[in-house]
Amino acid sequence: MSVCSPWDSVTEAHLAAALAIDKGNEAALVSWSFRASPEPFKHQRIAEVKYALEGQEGDVTYSVKCVGRGAGADECHALLFEKEYGFYEELAPAINTLLQETGQRSLRIPRCFTHARTETYEVMVLEDLSTRGFRAADRSFGLDLAHVLLAVQEIARLHAASFLLQSRSADKPLAQTYPFVGKEWTKVYKRGGESYEDILTKHMDLAVAIVEEMPKRGKQLTWLKESRPKVWEMFLEQLVPKKPFEVLCLGDGWSTNILFRYDSLDMPIEAIFMDMQQVRIASPATDMQSLIAPHLTSLTRTQENDSLQIAYHDTFRRVMEAGGGEVPFSTVSLSSEYRAKSLCGFLSALMYIPLAVQKDGGSLHPLSEEAGALTKDKEQVLEALKKDRDLIQRLLSLLDEGEKHGMLHPPSDC
Protein backbone atom coordinates (compact mmCIF):
# COMPACT_ATOMS: atom_id res chain seq x y z
CA MET A 1 0.00 0.00 0.00
CA SER A 2 1.57 3.29 -1.07
CA VAL A 3 1.64 6.30 1.25
CA CYS A 4 0.78 8.51 -1.72
CA SER A 5 -2.79 9.71 -1.43
CA PRO A 6 -5.59 9.50 -4.02
CA TRP A 7 -5.23 13.08 -5.18
CA ASP A 8 -7.88 12.66 -7.85
CA SER A 9 -10.34 12.52 -4.93
CA VAL A 10 -9.64 16.17 -4.12
CA THR A 11 -12.22 18.24 -5.97
CA GLU A 12 -13.26 21.82 -6.47
CA ALA A 13 -15.90 21.34 -3.79
CA HIS A 14 -13.25 20.78 -1.11
CA LEU A 15 -11.39 23.96 -2.03
CA ALA A 16 -14.61 25.94 -2.38
CA ALA A 17 -15.68 24.88 1.11
CA ALA A 18 -12.33 26.03 2.53
CA LEU A 19 -12.54 29.28 0.59
CA ALA A 20 -16.00 30.04 1.99
CA ILE A 21 -14.77 29.61 5.56
CA ASP A 22 -11.59 31.55 4.91
CA LYS A 23 -12.89 34.46 2.82
CA GLY A 24 -16.65 34.32 3.38
CA ASN A 25 -19.61 32.82 1.58
CA GLU A 26 -19.53 35.49 -1.11
CA ALA A 27 -16.11 34.38 -2.36
CA ALA A 28 -16.43 32.42 -5.61
CA LEU A 29 -13.76 29.95 -6.66
CA VAL A 30 -12.52 30.69 -10.20
CA SER A 31 -9.81 28.04 -10.62
CA TRP A 32 -7.35 25.96 -8.67
CA SER A 33 -4.33 23.72 -9.17
CA PHE A 34 -1.82 21.77 -7.14
CA ARG A 35 1.86 22.29 -6.69
CA ALA A 36 4.03 19.73 -4.96
CA SER A 37 4.73 20.26 -1.28
CA PRO A 38 8.39 20.31 -0.29
CA GLU A 39 7.67 18.14 2.70
CA PRO A 40 8.90 14.52 2.70
CA PHE A 41 5.40 13.18 3.39
CA LYS A 42 3.66 12.99 0.06
CA HIS A 43 0.17 13.12 1.56
CA GLN A 44 0.47 16.93 1.53
CA ARG A 45 0.31 19.40 -1.36
CA ILE A 46 -0.22 23.11 -1.84
CA ALA A 47 -3.42 24.19 -3.63
CA GLU A 48 -3.20 27.48 -5.50
CA VAL A 49 -6.68 29.02 -5.67
CA LYS A 50 -7.98 31.97 -7.68
CA TYR A 51 -11.23 33.49 -6.48
CA ALA A 52 -13.55 36.44 -7.07
CA LEU A 53 -14.97 38.60 -4.30
CA GLU A 54 -16.88 41.89 -4.61
CA GLY A 55 -15.80 42.32 -8.21
CA GLN A 56 -12.12 41.76 -7.48
CA GLU A 57 -9.96 38.72 -8.17
CA GLY A 58 -7.64 37.32 -5.53
CA ASP A 59 -5.21 34.49 -4.95
CA VAL A 60 -4.80 32.25 -1.92
CA THR A 61 -2.95 29.01 -1.18
CA TYR A 62 -3.95 26.14 1.09
CA SER A 63 -2.15 23.10 2.46
CA VAL A 64 -4.07 19.95 1.51
CA LYS A 65 -3.68 16.52 3.04
CA CYS A 66 -5.32 13.41 1.67
CA VAL A 67 -5.28 9.69 2.45
CA GLY A 68 -7.17 6.67 1.20
CA ARG A 69 -9.73 4.79 3.29
CA GLY A 70 -11.51 1.48 3.14
CA ALA A 71 -10.31 -1.98 2.09
CA GLY A 72 -6.56 -2.11 1.59
CA ALA A 73 -6.00 1.39 2.99
CA ASP A 74 -3.28 2.21 5.49
CA GLU A 75 -4.70 1.86 9.01
CA CYS A 76 -1.85 3.85 10.48
CA HIS A 77 -2.39 6.88 8.26
CA ALA A 78 -6.13 6.70 8.85
CA LEU A 79 -5.42 6.94 12.59
CA LEU A 80 -2.98 9.82 12.07
CA PHE A 81 -5.73 11.68 10.21
CA GLU A 82 -8.22 10.90 12.97
CA LYS A 83 -5.82 12.33 15.52
CA GLU A 84 -5.00 15.47 13.56
CA TYR A 85 -8.54 16.37 12.61
CA GLY A 86 -9.79 15.49 16.09
CA PHE A 87 -7.23 17.87 17.52
CA TYR A 88 -8.21 20.74 15.20
CA GLU A 89 -11.95 20.15 15.39
CA GLU A 90 -12.45 19.23 19.06
CA LEU A 91 -9.47 19.57 21.36
CA ALA A 92 -7.77 22.76 20.14
CA PRO A 93 -11.02 24.79 20.31
CA ALA A 94 -11.53 23.68 23.92
CA ILE A 95 -7.96 24.58 24.82
CA ASN A 96 -8.11 27.94 23.05
CA THR A 97 -11.40 28.83 24.72
CA LEU A 98 -9.80 28.14 28.09
CA LEU A 99 -6.74 30.23 27.21
CA GLN A 100 -8.86 33.14 26.01
CA GLU A 101 -11.03 33.01 29.12
CA THR A 102 -7.90 33.36 31.22
CA GLY A 103 -6.56 36.31 29.20
CA GLN A 104 -3.99 34.37 27.21
CA ARG A 105 -3.34 33.98 23.50
CA SER A 106 -4.44 30.91 21.59
CA LEU A 107 -2.11 28.10 20.61
CA ARG A 108 0.03 28.73 17.56
CA ILE A 109 -1.35 26.16 15.16
CA PRO A 110 -2.56 26.31 11.56
CA ARG A 111 -6.25 26.84 10.87
CA CYS A 112 -8.12 23.81 9.60
CA PHE A 113 -10.71 25.14 7.15
CA THR A 114 -12.53 22.00 6.14
CA HIS A 115 -12.50 18.24 6.34
CA ALA A 116 -14.25 15.63 4.23
CA ARG A 117 -14.41 11.87 4.67
CA THR A 118 -15.97 9.17 2.55
CA GLU A 119 -15.60 5.40 2.39
CA THR A 120 -12.65 5.74 0.02
CA TYR A 121 -10.76 8.91 0.95
CA GLU A 122 -10.24 11.61 3.57
CA VAL A 123 -9.24 15.22 2.87
CA MET A 124 -8.17 18.10 5.10
CA VAL A 125 -7.66 21.66 3.87
CA LEU A 126 -5.42 23.70 6.16
CA GLU A 127 -3.84 27.12 6.30
CA ASP A 128 -0.67 27.55 4.25
CA LEU A 129 1.60 28.90 6.98
CA SER A 130 4.11 30.30 4.50
CA THR A 131 1.64 33.11 3.79
CA ARG A 132 2.29 34.34 7.35
CA GLY A 133 6.03 34.23 6.90
CA PHE A 134 6.65 30.87 8.56
CA ARG A 135 9.24 28.59 7.03
CA ALA A 136 11.13 25.42 7.94
CA ALA A 137 14.67 25.42 9.23
CA ASP A 138 17.22 23.34 7.35
CA ARG A 139 17.05 19.99 9.16
CA SER A 140 20.47 18.93 7.88
CA PHE A 141 21.97 21.37 10.37
CA GLY A 142 19.69 20.52 13.29
CA LEU A 143 18.40 23.51 15.23
CA ASP A 144 20.30 26.12 17.21
CA LEU A 145 19.45 27.25 20.72
CA ALA A 146 17.27 30.18 19.61
CA HIS A 147 15.02 27.90 17.54
CA VAL A 148 14.78 25.17 20.18
CA LEU A 149 14.02 27.67 22.95
CA LEU A 150 11.01 29.02 21.03
CA ALA A 151 9.78 25.49 20.32
CA VAL A 152 10.22 24.40 23.95
CA GLN A 153 8.19 27.38 25.17
CA GLU A 154 5.39 26.70 22.70
CA ILE A 155 5.31 23.05 23.74
CA ALA A 156 5.11 24.15 27.38
CA ARG A 157 2.04 26.27 26.59
CA LEU A 158 0.29 23.29 25.01
CA HIS A 159 1.20 21.02 27.92
CA ALA A 160 0.08 23.50 30.57
CA ALA A 161 -3.16 24.35 28.78
CA SER A 162 -4.01 20.66 28.51
CA PHE A 163 -3.28 20.22 32.22
CA LEU A 164 -5.64 23.10 33.02
CA LEU A 165 -8.30 21.60 30.75
CA GLN A 166 -7.95 18.25 32.48
CA SER A 167 -8.19 19.87 35.93
CA ARG A 168 -11.57 21.34 34.99
CA SER A 169 -12.99 17.85 34.41
CA ALA A 170 -11.00 15.82 36.90
CA ASP A 171 -13.60 13.04 36.95
CA LYS A 172 -13.11 12.28 33.25
CA PRO A 173 -9.66 11.83 31.68
CA LEU A 174 -8.97 13.68 28.43
CA ALA A 175 -8.49 10.33 26.71
CA GLN A 176 -12.15 9.56 27.45
CA THR A 177 -13.41 12.97 26.36
CA TYR A 178 -11.21 12.86 23.25
CA PRO A 179 -10.67 9.14 22.52
CA PHE A 180 -8.27 9.76 19.62
CA VAL A 181 -5.52 10.93 22.00
CA GLY A 182 -5.54 7.51 23.65
CA LYS A 183 -4.89 5.65 20.42
CA GLU A 184 -1.20 4.93 19.83
CA TRP A 185 -0.38 5.07 16.12
CA THR A 186 2.84 3.06 16.45
CA LYS A 187 0.80 0.03 17.53
CA VAL A 188 -1.07 -0.11 14.21
CA TYR A 189 1.86 0.82 11.99
CA LYS A 190 2.37 -1.72 9.20
CA ARG A 191 4.24 -1.20 5.99
CA GLY A 192 5.32 -3.98 3.64
CA GLY A 193 5.02 -6.50 6.46
CA GLU A 194 7.11 -4.36 8.83
CA SER A 195 5.80 -3.20 12.21
CA TYR A 196 7.06 -0.22 14.17
CA GLU A 197 8.89 -2.73 16.34
CA ASP A 198 10.77 -3.83 13.21
CA ILE A 199 11.61 -0.19 12.43
CA LEU A 200 12.98 0.45 15.93
CA THR A 201 15.00 -2.77 15.81
CA LYS A 202 16.59 -1.83 12.50
CA HIS A 203 17.53 1.58 13.83
CA MET A 204 19.13 -0.12 16.81
CA ASP A 205 21.11 -2.19 14.31
CA LEU A 206 22.27 1.08 12.80
CA ALA A 207 23.38 2.31 16.23
CA VAL A 208 25.26 -0.93 16.85
CA ALA A 209 27.06 -0.54 13.53
CA ILE A 210 28.05 3.03 14.44
CA VAL A 211 29.28 2.24 17.95
CA GLU A 212 31.18 -0.87 16.82
CA GLU A 213 33.58 1.41 14.99
CA MET A 214 34.18 3.61 18.05
CA PRO A 215 36.94 2.74 20.55
CA LYS A 216 36.38 2.32 24.31
CA ARG A 217 32.59 2.02 24.14
CA GLY A 218 32.19 -1.58 25.18
CA LYS A 219 29.52 -0.94 27.82
CA GLN A 220 27.41 1.10 25.40
CA LEU A 221 27.79 -1.51 22.68
CA THR A 222 26.75 -4.27 25.07
CA TRP A 223 23.68 -2.27 26.14
CA LEU A 224 22.67 -1.63 22.52
CA LYS A 225 22.94 -5.31 21.62
CA GLU A 226 21.07 -6.45 24.73
CA SER A 227 18.36 -3.80 24.27
CA ARG A 228 17.83 -4.49 20.58
CA PRO A 229 15.30 -7.36 21.00
CA LYS A 230 13.44 -5.45 23.75
CA VAL A 231 13.49 -1.95 22.33
CA TRP A 232 9.78 -1.99 21.42
CA GLU A 233 8.70 -2.75 24.99
CA MET A 234 11.20 -0.21 26.31
CA PHE A 235 9.82 2.43 23.93
CA LEU A 236 6.21 1.79 24.98
CA GLU A 237 7.20 1.95 28.64
CA GLN A 238 8.58 5.46 28.08
CA LEU A 239 5.15 6.56 26.81
CA VAL A 240 3.19 5.45 29.89
CA PRO A 241 2.13 8.65 31.72
CA LYS A 242 2.41 8.84 35.49
CA LYS A 243 1.06 11.70 37.58
CA PRO A 244 1.94 14.50 37.89
CA PHE A 245 3.66 14.16 34.51
CA GLU A 246 0.56 13.59 32.43
CA VAL A 247 -0.21 16.09 29.66
CA LEU A 248 -1.24 16.29 26.03
CA CYS A 249 1.96 15.81 24.01
CA LEU A 250 2.72 16.52 20.37
CA GLY A 251 4.37 13.12 20.04
CA ASP A 252 6.68 14.29 17.27
CA GLY A 253 9.36 16.91 17.72
CA TRP A 254 10.98 16.41 14.33
CA SER A 255 12.17 19.80 13.05
CA THR A 256 10.33 19.46 9.73
CA ASN A 257 7.06 19.68 11.68
CA ILE A 258 8.05 23.02 13.22
CA LEU A 259 7.98 26.24 11.24
CA PHE A 260 9.50 29.53 12.34
CA ARG A 261 8.89 33.20 11.63
CA TYR A 262 11.89 35.51 11.50
CA ASP A 263 12.63 39.18 12.04
CA SER A 264 14.51 41.50 9.67
CA LEU A 265 17.83 40.15 10.98
CA ASP A 266 16.71 36.58 10.21
CA MET A 267 16.44 35.72 13.90
CA PRO A 268 13.55 33.38 14.85
CA ILE A 269 10.78 35.10 16.79
CA GLU A 270 7.89 32.62 16.65
CA ALA A 271 7.54 28.84 16.41
CA ILE A 272 4.46 27.03 15.16
CA PHE A 273 3.76 23.31 14.96
CA MET A 274 2.20 22.22 11.69
CA ASP A 275 1.63 18.49 12.14
CA MET A 276 -0.65 17.31 14.95
CA GLN A 277 -0.98 13.71 13.81
CA GLN A 278 0.74 12.02 16.73
CA VAL A 279 -0.83 13.70 19.77
CA ARG A 280 -0.97 11.47 22.84
CA ILE A 281 -1.23 11.65 26.62
CA ALA A 282 2.28 11.18 27.97
CA SER A 283 5.01 12.75 30.08
CA PRO A 284 6.03 16.27 29.00
CA ALA A 285 9.61 15.01 29.12
CA THR A 286 8.94 12.79 26.09
CA ASP A 287 8.20 15.87 23.98
CA MET A 288 11.17 17.73 25.41
CA GLN A 289 13.52 14.83 24.74
CA SER A 290 12.29 14.27 21.18
CA LEU A 291 12.83 17.95 20.43
CA ILE A 292 16.11 18.61 22.22
CA ALA A 293 18.04 15.36 21.77
CA PRO A 294 18.08 15.09 17.96
CA HIS A 295 18.46 18.74 17.06
CA LEU A 296 20.99 20.43 19.32
CA THR A 297 24.70 19.79 19.08
CA SER A 298 26.13 17.87 22.00
CA LEU A 299 27.95 20.96 23.33
CA THR A 300 24.88 23.21 23.19
CA ARG A 301 22.65 20.55 24.68
CA THR A 302 25.05 19.94 27.56
CA GLN A 303 25.61 23.61 28.29
CA GLU A 304 22.01 24.75 27.88
CA ASN A 305 19.99 21.78 29.12
CA ASP A 306 19.24 23.38 32.50
CA SER A 307 18.29 26.73 30.95
CA LEU A 308 15.91 25.03 28.52
CA GLN A 309 14.18 23.17 31.34
CA ILE A 310 13.89 26.39 33.34
CA ALA A 311 12.42 28.18 30.30
CA TYR A 312 9.94 25.32 29.89
CA HIS A 313 8.96 25.40 33.56
CA ASP A 314 8.58 29.20 33.61
CA THR A 315 6.27 29.12 30.57
CA PHE A 316 4.26 26.25 32.05
CA ARG A 317 3.95 28.19 35.33
CA ARG A 318 2.71 31.37 33.66
CA VAL A 319 -0.05 29.50 31.82
CA MET A 320 -1.09 27.66 34.98
CA GLU A 321 -1.12 30.79 37.15
CA ALA A 322 -3.15 32.73 34.59
CA GLY A 323 -5.68 29.90 34.71
CA GLY A 324 -5.80 29.83 38.48
CA GLY A 325 -3.80 26.64 38.85
CA GLU A 326 -0.47 25.59 40.30
CA VAL A 327 2.42 23.86 38.58
CA PRO A 328 2.21 20.20 39.64
CA PHE A 329 5.98 19.66 39.52
CA SER A 330 9.13 21.57 40.45
CA THR A 331 12.13 22.27 38.26
CA VAL A 332 14.03 19.62 40.24
CA SER A 333 11.40 16.92 39.66
CA LEU A 334 11.11 17.96 36.01
CA SER A 335 14.85 17.52 35.62
CA SER A 336 14.62 14.06 37.16
CA GLU A 337 11.72 13.14 34.87
CA TYR A 338 13.64 14.45 31.86
CA ARG A 339 16.57 12.16 32.70
CA ALA A 340 14.18 9.25 33.17
CA LYS A 341 13.02 9.72 29.58
CA SER A 342 16.55 9.68 28.15
CA LEU A 343 15.70 6.60 26.11
CA CYS A 344 12.96 8.55 24.36
CA GLY A 345 15.48 11.20 23.36
CA PHE A 346 18.03 8.65 22.21
CA LEU A 347 15.51 6.78 20.08
CA SER A 348 14.24 10.04 18.60
CA ALA A 349 17.78 11.00 17.64
CA LEU A 350 18.39 7.53 16.29
CA MET A 351 15.32 7.86 14.07
CA TYR A 352 15.96 11.44 12.97
CA ILE A 353 19.73 11.71 12.55
CA PRO A 354 19.89 9.45 9.45
CA LEU A 355 17.46 11.86 7.77
CA ALA A 356 19.96 14.68 8.12
CA VAL A 357 22.49 12.91 5.92
CA GLN A 358 20.00 12.06 3.18
CA LYS A 359 19.88 15.02 0.89
CA ASP A 360 17.15 13.49 -1.28
CA GLY A 361 14.46 13.93 1.36
CA GLY A 362 15.10 11.08 3.73
CA SER A 363 13.73 7.71 2.68
CA LEU A 364 14.60 6.15 6.04
CA HIS A 365 11.80 7.76 8.01
CA PRO A 366 9.50 5.11 9.59
CA LEU A 367 6.63 6.38 7.43
CA SER A 368 8.65 5.81 4.27
CA GLU A 369 6.48 4.32 1.55
CA GLU A 370 9.21 1.84 0.69
CA ALA A 371 9.38 -1.07 3.10
CA GLY A 372 12.89 -2.14 3.97
CA ALA A 373 14.45 1.20 3.05
CA LEU A 374 16.63 1.21 6.15
CA THR A 375 18.14 -2.17 5.33
CA LYS A 376 18.86 -1.14 1.78
CA ASP A 377 20.38 2.22 2.67
CA LYS A 378 22.14 1.31 5.90
CA GLU A 379 25.61 1.29 4.36
CA GLN A 380 24.87 4.55 2.56
CA VAL A 381 23.90 6.21 5.83
CA LEU A 382 26.94 4.85 7.66
CA GLU A 383 29.22 6.15 4.94
CA ALA A 384 27.58 9.58 5.06
CA LEU A 385 27.78 9.71 8.84
CA LYS A 386 31.52 9.05 8.70
CA LYS A 387 31.83 12.34 6.83
CA ASP A 388 29.71 14.22 9.37
CA ARG A 389 31.45 13.95 12.71
CA ASP A 390 29.00 16.31 14.39
CA LEU A 391 26.07 13.97 13.80
CA ILE A 392 28.11 11.01 15.03
CA GLN A 393 29.11 12.97 18.12
CA ARG A 394 25.50 14.01 18.70
CA LEU A 395 24.43 10.40 18.91
CA LEU A 396 27.43 9.27 20.96
CA SER A 397 26.97 12.10 23.44
CA LEU A 398 23.40 10.94 24.03
CA LEU A 399 24.77 7.53 24.93
CA ASP A 400 27.30 9.18 27.24
CA GLU A 401 24.55 11.18 28.96
CA GLY A 402 22.33 8.13 29.11
CA GLU A 403 25.11 6.16 30.76
CA LYS A 404 25.61 8.97 33.29
CA HIS A 405 21.90 9.09 34.15
CA GLY A 406 21.26 5.36 34.32
CA MET A 407 19.77 4.68 30.90
CA LEU A 408 22.30 1.95 30.19
CA HIS A 409 21.20 -0.40 32.95
CA PRO A 410 20.50 -3.92 31.64
CA PRO A 411 17.01 -4.03 30.05
CA SER A 412 14.52 -5.91 32.19
CA ASP A 413 12.65 -8.90 30.86
CA CYS A 414 9.44 -7.70 29.21
The domain spanning residue 47 has which CATH number?
A: 3.30.200
Distance CA 122, CA 116 (A): 6
Residue 82 above 80 pLDDT? yes
Q: Is 2 part of a structural domain of the chain? A: no
Residue 398 sits in a domain whose CATH number is: 3.90.1200
Residue 1 above 60 pLDDT? no
- Exposure class string for 198-228: b at 16+ Cβ within 10 A, else e: bbbbbbbbbbeebbeeeeebeebbebbeebb
Beta bridge partners of 125: 64, 114
Confidence of residue 186 (pLDDT cuts 50, 70, 90): very high
Distance CA 145, CA 147 (A): 5
98 with 224, same domain: the answer is: no
160 with 276, same domain: the answer is: yes
Q: Which of 98, 127, 156 is the last residue of a domain?
A: 127
Residue 164 above 60 pLDDT? yes
Whole-number pLDDT of residue 391: 76
190 with 47, same domain: the answer is: no
199 with 159, same domain: the answer is: yes
307 with 185, same domain: the answer is: yes
120 with 146, same domain: the answer is: no
- Judge contact between 27 and 19, C-beta under 8 A: yes
Residue 336 above 70 pLDDT? yes
Give mean pLDDT, residues 71-83: 81
Give mean pLDDT, residues 276-302: 93
Whole-number pLDDT of residue 409: 79
Q: Which domain holds residue 30?
A: 7-127
Residue 2 above 50 pLDDT? no
Q: Which of 76, 103, 127 is the last residue of a domain?
A: 127
Q: What are phi and psi of 396, to 5 degrees?
A: -65, -35
Whole-number pLDDT of residue 72: 59
Q: Is 411 part of a structural domain of the chain? A: no
108 with 181, same domain: the answer is: no
* Percent of the chain as helix, strand, coil, to the nearest 5: 50, 15, 30
User: Which is more confidently placed, 405 or 123?
Assistant: 123
Q: Which of 127, 150, 181 is the last residue of a domain?
A: 127
Residue 374 above 70 pLDDT? no
Lowest mean pLDDT among 280-294, 341-355, 369-383, 399-413: 369-383
344 with 220, same domain: the answer is: yes
Mean pLDDT over each residue of the chain, to the nearest integer? 87
Number of domains into which the chain is organized: 2
Q: Is 341 part of a structural domain of the chain? A: yes
